[in-house]
Amino acid sequence: MDQPLLAEVAVDRPGRDAYTYLVPDSLAGELGPGDCVEVDFAGRRERGFVLTVERRPPPEGVKLKEIQQRRAVRLPPHLMRLIAWGARYYRCSLGEFLAGAVPAPVRQGVRLDPAFAVVPVAGFAGRLTARQQAVLAALPAAGQPLAELLRSTGATRGVVDKLAAAGAVTIAAAGDIQEVRLEARHESHPLTDEQTVAVAAVGEALDAGRHQAFLLYGVTGSGKTLVYCELIERVLAAGRQTLLLLPEIGLTPQLAARLRSRFPRTAVWHSAFSDGERAELWRRCAAGAIDLVVGTRSALFAPLPAPGLVIVDEEHEQSFKQESVPRYHARDLAVVYAGQLGVPVVLGSATPSLESIHNGRQGRYRVLTLRKRPLGGSLPQPLLVDMREECRVQKRPVQVCSELIERLKGVRDHGEQAIVLLNRRGWSPVVSCSACGTGIGCNACDITLTYHKAGQVLKCHYCGHQRPLPRTCPACGAESLTTFGLGTEQLTHLIGEAVPGLRILRVDADTVGEKQGHAKLFKAFSEGAAQCLVGTQMVAKGLDFPRVTLVGIVAADRGLAVPDFRAAERTWQLVAQVAGRAGRGERPGTVVVQAWDVEALPIRAALDRTPKAFVDAELALRQEYGYPPHAGLVRWLWSGESAARVQLVAEEHGARLKACCQGEVLLGPNQAGLGFLKGLHRWHALLKAGSRGAAQQYLDRLAAAGGLPRANEVNVGVDVDPYVTV
């Protein structure tokens, strides 16, 4: 008797990686690894991915269920291999990682909605069939909605897909960034000597077909994007595709415009798409209709058939780390992916992470340096303002220094542009009663509510709760509520009052909420609709506006007070990055930095352009106290509605964690820095091991000892290489 055909299927559930199902006769011969299928799991219809298919005896004493349906989705083997590695390293089930890597609309089989347009590629001279030529000839130069094109020409979707694969058209999501087109700034100059060296070094690895990791360490405005373009050109000539990761949606508009002008088959990939758009983009990538994917961290899992190069721009950014399951770091996983593919990976930054700098010093990465700005323009002149002295001289509390105000007036009068950074949104971060001293906090979080003057509301920036600003103190009833502190909303108002006639745009989470919000604001600024951008860290990096001659940084040292071992590193990076937005054109630039602690090394190093002094000092501190890159970290977080239950489980689990230590240091368990968040009480523990490898060995010992038992009413999460440790 023939043995049954069995499939191992990964389902989005914690614990086991796979469950065994019978393959029905209707799917025999067509089901393979990477296929998305529907199965009955615990009485519910679930979607999972096939890992293996083989004939073998069924498990004894187990009644197996049949696979119910196969979806028209198959992951390529190289992505399955990457996801399997990631699930093991970041300690989640394979099904959980697959669910996080493959968009839900793809797994659900969502089809294209009408919000797509077909745009002809100017200058296309390739060979087409008569039917394809007829469809292309009927297409207006400005493009046409896909549904309308299919109706007017009677063409099938397959014809349009083949036109896209040939490079004759692009299929653009109407909600995509392409609909808000920013003017691309072209670099027409030949490569500088530094750029030539960088391109040749990576090109050698490309030509040899070998994996090598490169750190492209270039000052702001040094032409890293041009290096990327030259390398992408080589990859396309070899018939392969490129993956370019960015940390935030806000960085895509300008870069996407530049890349599309040179590589028409470029797709932007991020989380702001509709379900239909995400599913359609996934299918286009899988079909080989895309040469270059530019996107945020989830773009790492774009199903490109043959990736030949992986690029991670602004590699130092924290947003590459995902804070929910699967808790992967896209930069680190990109290096692993490139190694598995046997292709080069380029990590680019003007302020690299200390981990990447350390890897360069240890020889794991080859460091390529760009020290000059090839388009002209010198690095900005820094002016550091001591706010203690400013308040003393003006004999009053000062929010915006006179130096910054006077220079903003010069920007207004000379037709220039400025960027002012304050990394805190809203009007004021604190509302309290001057009579009794009570502050107004969030009922669901251990955090004060931020006052937003537009709408007269108080908002929690963690859980999203909001309520109207009360007229009286909730504690004592006095009409004496007062706001403290400064946010971007108030800063915009103060600058507008001090510099009449200065046209200002505000860029923060409150102003870019609508679809394409980043692109619309940046397009308006690039076209001269405003002379000043006031914003949070969204304006700090990746933007290239030649008319910006002034950058202001308000409360530059505020981030140093955050109780996190990366606080100094982030301050150095933020100040250096936003300062680099000035002086990128013909006119010289200036950066005015306000701080209370003007001797802080991260700020001094960023403004004096002496990163080595900061990096050496910070690496020495990290080594002394046992933090990355000289250690491997693992964090556990317990959360639940009952404070007593969370504490009890955390302490019981903590004993098991300590029992597995063999030289590692376990801090905690104790109450988390934010002990109450989104209605849940929280405890945590942090493991410090001698290296990342040692941390993995510890986790293997813990798993062999039975791991942490499940606890009723308490969620337990594990975070490998955490970025949040408080």
pLDDT, tens digit (0-9, with 9 covering 90-100), for 191-207: 999 999 999 999 999 99
- Residue 446 confidence (pLDDT) above 80: yes
Q: Do 224 and 323 sit in the same domain of this protein?
A: yes
Where do we find the tokens 């700090």?
540
CB 223 within 8 A of CB 370: yes
Q: Which of 107, 135, 160 is the last residue of a domain?
A: 107
**In a domain? residue 524:** yes
535/310 Cα distance (integer angstroms): 30
Q: What is the mean pLDDT of the chain?
A: 91
Return the pLDDT at 177: 34
**In a domain? residue 478:** no
Q: Do 545 and 396 sit in the same domain of this protein?
A: yes
Token pair for 155: 């063409």
Token pair for 392: 């003393």
64/20 Cα distance (integer angstroms): 7
- Residue 468 confidence (pLDDT) above 70: yes
- Band (pLDDT 50/70/90 cuts) for residue 188 is low
619: DSSP letter: H
Q: Which of 107, 138, 160 is the last residue of a domain?
A: 107
Return the pLDDT at 514: 65
Contacts of 13 (CB under 8 A, 6+ apart): 41, 93, 95, 96
Token pair for 617: 């000092």
Return the pLDDT at 524: 86
- Band (pLDDT 50/70/90 cuts) for residue 521 is confident
Can you give the CATH number for the domain in which 45 is found?
A: 3.40.1440.60
Q: DSSP characters for 83-121? A: HHHHHHHTT--HHHHHHHHS-HHHHTTPPPPS-EEEEEP
- Residue 355 confidence (pLDDT) above 60: yes
Instruction: Report CA-CA distances (Å) from 185 to 138, 254, 403.
Output: 31, 8, 31
98/664 Cα distance (integer angstroms): 31
Return the pLDDT at 115: 59
SS3 per-residue string spanning 136-170:
HHCCCCCCEEHHHHHHHHCCCHHHHHHHHHHCCEE
Token pair for 16: 């086991």
Return the pLDDT at 144: 81
Q: Which spans in 213-274 are helix H?
A: 224-237, 252-262
CB 525 within 8 A of CB 533: yes
| Closest alpha carbon to 128 in 146, 104, 155 | 155
- Residue 18 confidence (pLDDT) above 80: yes
Return the pLDDT at 176: 43
- Band (pLDDT 50/70/90 cuts) for residue 146 is confident
94: left (phi over 0), alpha (psi -120 to 50) or beta: alpha
Can you give the CATH number for the domain in which 518 is found?
A: 3.40.50.300
CB 600 within 8 A of CB 617: no
- Band (pLDDT 50/70/90 cuts) for residue 173 is low
Where do we find the tokens 């090394």?
601
Token pair for 629: 């890159």
Return the pLDDT at 179: 41
Which one has a higher pLDDT value, 49 or 371?
Answer: 49
Where do we find the tokens 């087109």?
181
Rounded to 5 degrees, φ, ψ at 283 are -65, -35
Q: What is the mean pLDDT of residues 665-686?
A: 96
113/643 Cα distance (integer angstroms): 46
Cα-Cα-Cα-Cα torsion 393, 395, 400, 405, nearest 10 degrees, comes to -60
- Band (pLDDT 50/70/90 cuts) for residue 375 is low
**In a domain? residue 415:** yes
Q: Do 574 and 693 sit in the same domain of this protein?
A: no
507/540 Cα distance (integer angstroms): 11
What does the radius of gyration of the chain's CA atoms come to, in whole angstroms? 27
Q: Do 212 and 260 sit in the same domain of this protein?
A: yes
456/310 Cα distance (integer angstroms): 46
Q: Omega before 629 cis (within 30°)?
A: yes
Q: Do 497 and 580 sit in the same domain of this protein?
A: yes
Distance from chain centroid for Cα 215 = 19
- Band (pLDDT 50/70/90 cuts) for residue 178 is very low
Where do we find the tokens 């934010």?
674
Q: Do 254 and 317 sit in the same domain of this protein?
A: yes
Q: Which of 79, 107, 135 is the last residue of a domain?
A: 107
**In a domain? residue 365:** yes
Q: What is the mean pLDDT of residues 713-722?
A: 97
Full residue range of the structural domain in which residue 267 is found: 193-370
| Closest alpha carbon to 511 in 175, 174, 250 | 250
Q: What is the mean pLDDT of residues 62-69?
A: 94
Q: Which helix (H) or strand (E) holds 381?
A: strand 381-386
**In a domain? residue 469:** no
Instruction: Report CA-CA distances (Å) from 296 to 270, 293, 333, 480, 592.
Output: 6, 10, 13, 45, 31
Which one has a higher pLDDT value, 388 or 271?
Answer: 388
Four-residue CA torsion sign, 4, 5, 11, 17: positive
408-436 pLDDT, tens digit each: 999 999 999 999 999 999 999 999 999 99
Return the pLDDT at 145: 79
Q: Do 422 and 540 sit in the same domain of this protein?
A: yes
110/47 Cα distance (integer angstroms): 13
Domain count, the chain: 5
Contacts of 65 (CB under 8 A, 6+ apart): 21, 22, 39, 40
Cα-Cα-Cα-Cα torsion 91, 92, 95, 100, nearest 10 degrees, comes to -110
Distance from chain centroid for Cα 668 = 30
**In a domain? residue 268:** yes
**In a domain? residue 551:** yes
Return the pLDDT at 185: 54
- Residue 175 confidence (pLDDT) above 50: no
Q: Tell me if residue 363 falls in helix, strand or coil.
A: coil
Return the pLDDT at 668: 95
Q: Do 516 and 573 sit in the same domain of this protein?
A: yes
Q: Do 366 and 344 sit in the same domain of this protein?
A: yes
Token pair for 163: 């036109």
Where do we find the tokens 């323009």?
377
Distance from chain centroid for Cα 501 = 36
pTM value?
A: 0.88
Token pair for 232: 């992408």
352/194 Cα distance (integer angstroms): 18
**In a domain? residue 181:** no
User: Of the ranges 148-152, 210-214, 500-504, which one carries the lowest mean pLDDT score?
Assistant: 148-152
628-669 pLDDT, tens digit each: 999 999 999 999 999 999 999 999 999 999 999 999 999 999
Q: Do 690 and 667 sit in the same domain of this protein?
A: yes
Q: Do 386 and 506 sit in the same domain of this protein?
A: yes
CB 69 within 8 A of CB 36: no
Contacts of 337 (CB under 8 A, 6+ apart): 78, 82, 300, 307, 310, 345
- Band (pLDDT 50/70/90 cuts) for residue 110 is confident
- Band (pLDDT 50/70/90 cuts) for residue 220 is confident
- Residue 183 confidence (pLDDT) above 70: no
Q: Do 137 and 201 sit in the same domain of this protein?
A: no
